[in-house]
A and B are shown apart, each in its own frame.
Chain A
Amino acid sequence: MIRQLTSSERQTAAVLLLGVTLAGLALAVLGYGNALAVHGVITAVLAGGLLFYVLSALYAPEPDEDRQSAYYDDPIKVGIGLAMAWAVFGMFMGVWVAAQLAWPDLAFDAAWSGFGRLRPTHTTGVIFGFGGNALIATSFHVVQRTSRARLAGQISPWFVLLGYNLFCIVAVTGYFMGITQSKEYAEPEWYADLWLVIVWVTYFLLYVRTIARRKEPHIYVANWYFMAFILVVAMLHIVNNLALPISFGEAKSYTVWAGVQDAMVQWWYGHNAVAFFLTAGFLGMLYYYLPVRAQRPIFSYRLSILSFWGITFFYMWAGSHHLHYTALPYWVQTLGMTFSVMLLVPSWASAGNALLTLNGAWHRVRDDATLRFMMAAAVFYGLSTFEGSFMAIRPVNSLSHYTDWTIGHVHAGALGWVALITFGSFYTLVPSLWKRERMYSAGLVEVHFWLSIAGTLIYVFAMWNSGIIQGLMWRTYTEEGTLAYSFLDSLVAMYPYYIARAFGGLLFLIGAVVGCYNIWMTVRSMPSTAARGQDLPAAPAPAVPGE
Chain B
Amino acid sequence: MELDHTTLVAFSKSWGLFYLFAFFIGVIIYAFWPSNRKRFTRAKHSILERDDKPWK
Contacts and interface: CB of A to CB of B under 8 A. Distances in A.
Interface of A: 68-71, 144-146, 148-150, 215-218, 220-222, 288, 291-292, 295-298, 301-302, 305-306, 309, 313, 331, 335, 534-538, 540-541, 544-547
Contacts of A71: 53-54
B54 A216 contact: no
Nearest to B39: A218
A305 B46 contact: no
Contact of B28 (A68, A215, A306, A547): A306
The CB with the most chain B CB atoms within 10 A, among A220, A538, A545, is that of A538
Given A331-B9, A546-B38, A220 B47 contact: yes
Contacts of A306: 27-28, 31
B42 A144 contact: no
Interface of B: 9, 13, 16, 20, 23-24, 27-28, 30-32, 35, 38-56
A296 B50 CA distance: 14
A217 B39 contact: yes
A217 B43 CA distance: 9
Given A217-B39, A302-B31, A291 B53 contact: no
Given A218-B42, A220-B47, A302-B32, A309 B27 contact: yes
A68 B54 CA distance: 8
A148 B51 contact: yes
B53 to A, nearest CB: 6
Given A295-B48, A297-B45, A309 B54 contact: no
B3 to A, nearest CB: 16
Contact of B55 (A215, A302, A536): A215
Would you list the 4 A-B pairs with minimal beta carbon distance, nearest first? A215-B55, A297-B44, A148-B55, A301-B40
A69 B56 contact: yes
Contacts of B50: 538
Contacts of A149: 54-55
Contacts of B28: 306
B41 A534 contact: no
A546 B42 CA distance: 12
Interface of B is mostly: helix
A291 B38 contact: no
A206 to B, nearest CB: 15
Nearest to A317: B16
B44 A70 contact: no
A288 B47 contact: yes
A507 B41 CA distance: 42
Given A291-B47, A545-B38, 14 more contacts: A69-B54, A146-B46, A148-B51, A218-B39, A218-B40, A288-B47, A297-B44, A297-B48, A301-B40, A305-B27, A313-B24, A534-B52, A544-B41, A546-B38
A220 B54 contact: no
A305 B28 CA distance: 9
Nearest to A303: B31
B52 to A, nearest CB: 5
Contact of B49 (A150, A335, A537, A541): A541
A301 B43 contact: yes
A278 B44 CA distance: 24
B47 A292 contact: yes
A535 B53 contact: yes
Nearest to A142: B47
Given A306-B27, A309-B27, A545-B38, A148 B47 contact: no
B46 to A, nearest CB: 6
Nearest to B50: A538
Contacts of B44: 291, 297-298, 301
A331 B20 CA distance: 17
B5 to A, nearest CB: 9
Nearest to B19: A313
15 contacts: A68-B54, A69-B54, A148-B51, A220-B47, A221-B43, A297-B44, A301-B41, A305-B40, A309-B24, A331-B9, A331-B13, A535-B52, A537-B56, A538-B49, A538-B53
